[in-house]
Amino acid sequence: MNSDARERLATAARKCYERGLIFAKNGNLTLRTDEGNILTIPMGICLGNLSPGDIILTNIEGKILEQSRYLPSIEFYNLHLPVLSARQDIMGIVHTHSPSIIALSTLKISSIGPISTEMALGPGTIPVAEYHNPFEPDFFKSIQDLILNYDSIILKNHGLIAVGKTIEDAYYLAELSENYAYIYILALKAGGPDLLSTYQVQSLIKSKEKILTPKKHETCQQCGMCEKR
């Protein structure tokens, strides 16, 4: 099972590099395996050249379980492991340093709100966490409360952390977040974004749920079995 998980993590890492979400040797990704162990990207390696064999296996405490010529990053210990401990539903983490996200992270804003229907139905509001030194053990404190309610968080003057129920979900969220950040910057240049209201966002969500909710078949309406399930 670890070989498949390693391949998925390496694929997501290479996609991050190819899409310009990660440059040179920065950024990192982490995957929780079905067995409860952790796979993470080694420190100081270009993710564009990453192979499954480069990936490090640890337990939830960060103890390396297989011999490796590499070491995990400091952010793995100071951010990724605390995030995985805080939320058992998280199976994938993508941490990027993409241009639009970093540009927004330098502004004096607390979040970027829903600027489009796609963003409203996706990550919704993306908060900006207070700045913390990523090399200090208390780095996780910057998102400790936010991670309980948000899957995508901008790290002040740093980058982005995106989480998901799979490493693929976390990657897609990171990619979407960079796209929304880019659009948000364009809107700022044009005079400022006109965000969707809370009512508009709730209306979109209800409409989507209505469309995605399977309709009862005529026979089920007649026999009443649907209500008993």
- At residue 226, the pLDDT reads 53
Q: Which residue is listed with tokens 């100081």?
A: 44
Instruction: Assign 185 a pLDDT band (cuts: 50, 70, 90).
Output: very high
* Contact present, 97 and 122 (Cβ < 8 Å): no
Q: What is the pLDDT of residues 37-95, one digit of tens each?
A: 999 999 989 998 889 999 999 999 999 998 888 999 999 999 999 999 999 999 999 99
- Compute the 3-state secondary structure of the chain and give helix, strand, coil in percent, each to the nearest 5: 45, 15, 40
For residue 229, what pLDDT is reported? Answer: 46
Place of tokens 């390693």: 6
Decide if 137 contacts 78 (C-beta within 8 A).
Answer: yes
Residue 222: is its pLDDT beyond 70? Answer: no
Q: Give the tens place of pLDDT for each residue, 164-183.
A: 999 999 999 999 999 999 99
Which pLDDT value is given to residue 61? 94
Residue 154's Cα: distance from chain center in Å?
10
List, for residues 98-111, the tens digit of each pLDDT value.
999 999 999 999 99
Residue 144 has pLDDT above 90, yes or no: yes
**What is the average pLDDT across 107-121?**
91
| Span 150-161, pLDDT tens digits | 999 999 999 999
Most confident of 129-133, 191-195, 196-200, 214-218: 129-133
Q: Distance of CA 164 to CAs 86, 95, 141, Å?
A: 13, 12, 20
Residue 223's pLDDT is 57
Q: Enumerate domains of the chain plus CATH numbers.
A: 2-196 (3.40.225.10), 198-229 (no CATH)
Per DSSP, the residues of 53-75 read GG-EEE-TT--B-S--SS-B-HH
Distance CA 109, CA 112 (A): 8
Rounded to whole angstroms, the Cα distance separating 116 from 171 reads 20
